[in-house]
Amino acid sequence: MSTIDLPVSPSDLRTLAEQSNAWPFEQAKALVARLTKAPKDEVLFETGYGPSGLPHIGTFGEVARTTMVRHAFRVLTEDKIKTRLIAFSDDMDGLRKVPDNVPNKEMLTQHLGKSLTRVPDPFGTHESFGAHNNARLRVFLDTFGFDYEFASATDYYKSGRFDATLLKVLERLDKVMAIMLPSLREERAASYSPFLPICPRSGVVLQVPIVAHDAKAGTISYDDPETQERVTLPVTGGHCKLQWKPDWAMRWTALGIDYEMAGKDLIDSVKLSGKICQAIGGKPPEGFNYELFLDDKGQKISKSKGNGLTIDEWLRYASPESLSLFMYREPKAAKRLYFDVIPRNVDDYQQFLDGYARQDAKQQLSNPVWHIHAGHPPKSDMPVTFQLLLTLVSSSNAENAATLWGFIGRYRPGVTPQTHPKLDAMVGYAINYYRDFVAPTKTFREPTEAERAALQDLRDALSQLPAEATAEAIQDVVYEIGRREPFLDHKKAAKDGKPGVSLDWFNMLYQVLLGQEKGPRFGSFVAVYGLPNAVAMIDGALARSA
């Protein structure tokens, strides 16, 4: 796939990046400033994943956005400092509740409290529920081509990778407790310990009071809640894990993490973990708090509820690039993540790509496609929009790709599935989207008498156009027919100085003719659909409402 690359040297690119206010560069600049104060040979980026449920789009968003910041940092440092991205899975956490969107819920109920890597896989494909969800995450990240290193909390705890820092937490337990206790309710504070022993008998991650700790021996003691026996365990070697806020701080310290972003709901947690990180001798990472994704009801999406969109669902209806654009846009603004946001992001991605080749190097660094494609966006070659394809499927009830390609081939001779594979993929997306979301809600509105008269005039005007009429010529006719009451826009004049035509005219066409609220430019639609088909469609609407 060919890309659009302007001849810019690394140093010139760095200079332009330093002037850019695109948010990935703003984040990367803070990281550069951090290194100016404390130089390092390698910078570590981290994203966290809680595998208590299947991966969702929010998980992808964090990796995609962090990857954009990482690339921006590489540009600002001319790639002279090594970078790594660690995708860390908290798979040693106890299973607190059974997710809504998994099979074999009764079986999972019997294993509540155990580490996710000790809970059997309800899907029956992996050695544990944690391993199953980790695998799903990795397959997805690999599909998108992310450059990352996967890390498992279970592996890191058990291998001893965290031992030295865990002992430091135990050694400075009083400082850690002084940070945590003010944030807890009185009841929880009374029995709180940052260390959670993992019961040797049951494998359950225990939330029990710690009755003794020995920093020199590196152990904690607790009373088994079932047998009442006193148990002493080392805090190392995977015999214990930390509560999640101290755990986050311990991980930042042990691994030397330089950058990690988090959701807005974790602002207080980030502050607490940062203080603990400093208390045990570490330096909190740079990062920012992004806004949350909401479902169609305005509720926060969550892995356990399974609301909002799944990764697989978005990719059934649209390209990976459109999803990346959704993630790039306004990361600090709350956004609905539901099916109706897909068409706009598909077409907006294409518009950004179309505009990229016409921009200078400075403008390109503010174009989302530069960040989506790590500085090397592909050449734009999409002859029709997603909205137009949806309207074609809707108007013709063409639920097969061959029919759609018949329209496209007439509109753009020489364009085929072989010459335009990305368009062929988009044809499939449009058919899936129409079947699942447009067809079930399709309702045709009855035209008023004035609208019937306008439709009749439009039908007659279109029937008199030559077969080879361009989309622009058709649009001119549509516009002129609409220049009448009640569609006049007296506030906005046309090029000839006469009153303009309001959107009500075009919306009426889609509502009456196609049973949908809006659509693409009507002239472009008719050019692809064909004048005889458009005339027949108007005839059908007039007969239906007679």
Least confidently predicted of 35-49, 331-345, 397-411: 397-411
What is the enclosing helix (H) or strand (E) of 17? Answer: helix 10-19
Least confidently predicted of 185-199, 233-247, 288-302, 362-376: 288-302
Contact criterion met (CB below 8 Å) for 178 and 138? no
Percent above pLDDT 90 for the chain? 80
Whether the pLDDT of residue 291 is over 70: the answer is yes
Confidence of residue 491 (pLDDT cuts 50, 70, 90): confident
Whether the pLDDT of residue 6 is over 80: the answer is no
Instruction: Using alpha carbons, list the distances in angstroms from residue 238 to 193, 257, 282, 385.
Output: 17, 21, 21, 54
Any known ligand binding at 303?
A: yes
**Tokens 């509540």 belong to residue:** 112
pLDDT number for residue 271: 97
pLDDT number for residue 175: 98
Instruction: Using alpha carbons, list the distances in angstroms from residue 336 to 18, 24, 317, 339.
Output: 32, 22, 17, 9
Report how far residue 83's alpha carbon sits from residue 42's, in angstroms, rounded to the nearest whole number.
6
Instruction: Using alpha carbons, list the distances in angstroms from residue 29 to 41, 68, 259, 520.
Output: 17, 13, 12, 40
Whether the pLDDT of residue 66 is over 90: the answer is yes
pLDDT number for residue 436: 93
Tell me the per-residue pLDDT of 427-466, one tens digit each, with 9 for 90 and over: 999 999 999 998 888 889 999 999 999 999 999 999 999 9
Q: Is 193 exposed, middle or buried (0-12, 13-18, 19+ CB in 10 A)?
A: buried
Whether the pLDDT of residue 35 is over 80: the answer is yes
Q: pTM value?
A: 0.89
Percent above pLDDT 70 for the chain? 97
- According to DSSP, the residues that pair with 378 across neighbouring strands are 3
pLDDT number for residue 382: 94
Grouping H, G, I as helix, E, B as strand and the rest as coil, residue 508 is helix
Residue among 311, 290, 303 at smallest CA distance from 66: 290
Confidence of residue 269 (pLDDT cuts 50, 70, 90): very high
Helix, strand, coil fractions of the chain, as percent rounded to 5: 50, 15, 40
Tell me the per-residue pLDDT of 131-143, one tens digit each, with 9 for 90 and over: 999 998 898 889 8
Mean pLDDT of 478-485: 94
Residue among 170, 163, 229 at smallest CA distance from 200: 229
Grouping H, G, I as helix, E, B as strand and the rest as coil, residue 368 is helix
Q: Structure tokens of 414?
A: 């020489």
> Sheet of 219-223: strands edge to edge?
212-214, 219-223, 230-234
* CA 413 centroid distance within chain: 36
Which of the pair, 232 or 51, is modelled with greater confidence? 232
Q: Structure tokens of 61?
A: 């968003």
Confidence of residue 5 (pLDDT cuts 50, 70, 90): low
What is the rounded end-to-end Cα distance, in angstroms, of the chain?
Answer: 53
Contact criterion met (CB below 8 Å) for 465 and 473? yes
Instruction: Using alpha carbons, list the distances in angstroms from residue 325 to 119, 146, 373.
Output: 36, 15, 10
Report how far residue 42's alpha carbon sits from residue 304's, in angstroms, rounded to the nearest whole number.
36
Q: What is the mean pLDDT of the chain?
A: 93
Residue among 436, 350, 333, 438 at smallest CA distance from 386: 350
Whether the pLDDT of residue 308 is over 70: the answer is no
Confidence of residue 385 (pLDDT cuts 50, 70, 90): very high
pLDDT number for residue 302: 64
Contact criterion met (CB below 8 Å) for 101 and 309? no
What is the enclosing helix (H) or strand (E) of 135? Answer: helix 129-143
Whether the pLDDT of residue 297 is over 80: the answer is no
Confidence of residue 296 (pLDDT cuts 50, 70, 90): confident
pLDDT number for residue 111: 97
Grouping H, G, I as helix, E, B as strand and the rest as coil, residue 455 is helix
pLDDT number for residue 149: 97
Confidence of residue 68 (pLDDT cuts 50, 70, 90): very high
Q: Structure tokens of 117?
A: 């890597």
- According to DSSP, the residues that pair with 82 across neighbouring strands are 42
Residue 486, preceding peptide bond in cis (omega within 30° of 0): yes
Whether the pLDDT of residue 162 is over 90: the answer is yes
